[in-house]
Copies of this chain bind each other. A is one copy, B any other.
């Protein structure tokens, strides 16, 4: 059989690999003496050794071979590295490719620069030990594991000329998210999307144990990947020369497969799901490091996971071992006298944007184009009097998104993501202009499935989130629709993305990307049918723990407010926007004009529902969220009937973060404005969508905080009726009215009869639903009658702030 690589080529790629390995070991260990110009001394070695060697030589090996392939075929490719804790490898290669010095000029291609390269790694004021936003060519943090392949597919969607190589560690492969993400191939259109080339790196060991996939028979492993729908190619061994030839030949084969698959799909009328190629690369963990240290197995074992040997300051034998190890890469053959990598090595790497570390897709903001957005005002629900009409807020949003989709079909840069909840959350109008992406088998009666569909539905929140992140990080736009309770499934993925964005904000060359937008619907107050397990409004508690400048939380009270918020989110950059909105028919409160003013302020007094004009209120009734808003207004009506002279101010909050002081959140309301809105001395009855203490946590520094009484979800619920959900959590109109009566000084005595009537109502409610299994007509068919104030229903005070 003819070799793919000539002897020279084999030697060159090996030299490149050795150079990357040398530069990797140097990063982990060396502080001085980067070129080993003199014998290594303990003083040359960093006092604290941080970093992961185990995966690094394998990553360097793959990287070198991808470089060769890119150059040979002039490929548009970048690489996602699941084992991102192999940071030294990515950085070493970015350095060899020249990208690193271009971005960070003081890390130059000479001895001085190499010393900086080594010193800065895992060093205070330097760079992290894992792949991170600082790493050129990476869109994938080397932190939590499991999302490499979802990210890769997200990046490949709508990038038909791009190949995303994706290195999956065999540790990572044990995670749930990764295990299901292999199925992404059922959603990738070979005609209009790019390709993903998964490379499973069978490194053999995790921190302290073997990996599962490295310890099943090869036949089982092969069946697993054929079962996942791939054509696996195996590259196994530890002899470098043989392995270079094998890897090069395999990559040639795989690249040809990809081209053939794409050519067939792109010249054919109908799309069939191909068996995409993937590679299983089996190499020893810590490959090329000392086989043993202190008589203990290190290479090809878990002991090489982090630093193969420590105690360098105390153990001269370890220093000698390190020197021998580093010299085994023959640095003299790799670097010129100046420390610059030799010309043939520099020439080995691809050029310009073809370099893995410089591919523009890995700095997606640079490719980002604004969405064409229709005017959201055109989707306004006509609201004559507040509460007079009913609409399903998220369905109206879906109509707007349908036209956003339509306007950007040609640009192919907008997708929607949902775990089989697109229609349940009322975005079905979107399917008028596109389909669900589906490359698996179809049947004649299937509904809106097509290979080029732009609605991504798989029953995995991990996949939705991972795909969307990959899509956004490569410069596109999207929206994630999810049941509120189950978005917690991706709490940790949200964490990682929010942290990524926070760091990016401090890196000039990272261009801003489109925000990660969530619609959380089927929310806690309307999970009366699915019951307790589906009731959890805590994602927003989780979100507000992250850096204020990257998170926004919106709880629009009606459809017109939701439309404003949607438009806002689609225009925003480098944020995570969370919208919580109901999908059930609900009263509409604001005209579009009012909604725009109200939302722009983040919160505001609803004059038309208040009767404190021209005087201080007796009580502030605040509300945030659609159901709490409705219950608050119904309580206002009840109180008006009992005590028309009671001066009530209604404040509605859309942008949750506006409750925080500006010192805590850039969108926060000034203390002065807060005092004007909420007063400093009147009781505030706050009806909140989520856990009540979140409001306290946001407002504990405000002057009126001691007067604040919050109602919200307190983990009470089951399968019941919508109104009963409110009653079980004391958030219903009756409890809210009672709260007002109890807290306005002196009122409890004067309104004792009202309290009794309210108590009777609550008993009546309980009896009614037990008898009828449905809510009393009085609450079910309730319509706000209110009282037009002197200003009528035509303005809010939001613009006064």
Give A contacts to B, CB under 8 Å: 31, 46-48, 50, 85, 119, 122-130, 132, 141-146, 171-172, 174-181, 183, 186, 206-212, 215-217, 220-229, 297, 301-302, 420-424, 436, 438, 440-443, 445-447, 449, 457-463, 485-486, 488-489, 491-492, 495-496, 499, 502-503, 529-534, 536, 538, 541-542, 545-547, 691, 693-694, 696-697, 700, 705, 715, 718-721, 724, 769-770, 772-774
B533 touching A423 by the CB < 8 A rule?
no
A540 to chain B, nearest CB (A): 11
Instruction: State whether A208 and B423 are in contact (beta carbons under 8 Å apart), knowing that A224-B224, A492-B488 are contacts in the complex.
Output: yes
Residue of B nearest to A489 (CB): B492
B216 touching A226 by the CB < 8 A rule?
no
Instruction: State whether A532 and B132 are in contact (beta carbons under 8 Å apart), knowing that A171-B459, A174-B460, A227-B221 are contacts in the complex.
Output: yes
Give 21 A-B contacts (CB < 8 Å), ordered by A residue.
A47-B774, A48-B773, A50-B719, A122-B529, A128-B531, A142-B533, A143-B532, A144-B486, A171-B459, A175-B460, A176-B176, A176-B181, A210-B438, A212-B440, A223-B227, A301-B445, A502-B715, A541-B545, A545-B691, A694-B697, A696-B700
Chain A binding surface SS class: loop
A627 to B715, CA, bound (A): 33
A141 to B126, CA, bound (A): 48
A622 to B220, CA, bound (A): 57
The listed residue (B207, B222, B449, B724) touching A124 by CB distance below 8 A is B724
Residues on B with C-beta less than 8 A from A422 are: 208
Residues on B with C-beta less than 8 A from A542 are: 491, 538, 541-542
Q: Other than the known A48-B721, A50-B529, A220-B226, what 18 A-B pairs have Cβ atoms closer than 8 Å?
A: A47-B774, A123-B773, A128-B531, A144-B486, A174-B183, A175-B460, A207-B420, A210-B443, A215-B441, A224-B227, A227-B227, A488-B491, A491-B492, A495-B536, A499-B715, A547-B715, A696-B696, A696-B697
B531 touching A143 by the CB < 8 A rule?
yes
B697 touching A48 by the CB < 8 A rule?
no
A486 to B175, CA, bound (A): 12
A126 to B668, CA, bound (A): 44
A462 to B700, CA, bound (A): 36
Residues on B with C-beta less than 8 A from A122 are: 529, 719
A285 to B228, CA, bound (A): 24
B126 touching A719 by the CB < 8 A rule?
yes
Residues on B with C-beta less than 8 A from A457 are: 208-209
B228 touching A224 by the CB < 8 A rule?
yes
B534 touching A545 by the CB < 8 A rule?
no
Among the interface residues A180, A693, A718, A719, which one has the most CB atoms of the partner chain B within 10 A? A719
A297 to chain B, nearest CB (A): 5
A186 touching B216 by the CB < 8 A rule?
yes
A697 to B691, CA, bound (A): 11
B446 touching A210 by the CB < 8 A rule?
yes
B229 touching A227 by the CB < 8 A rule?
no
A471 to chain B, nearest CB (A): 18
Residues on B with C-beta less than 8 A from A773 are: 31, 46-48, 119, 123-124
A176 touching B441 by the CB < 8 A rule?
no
Residue of B nearest to A768 (CB): B124
A221 to B223, CA, bound (A): 10
A176 to chain B, nearest CB (A): 3
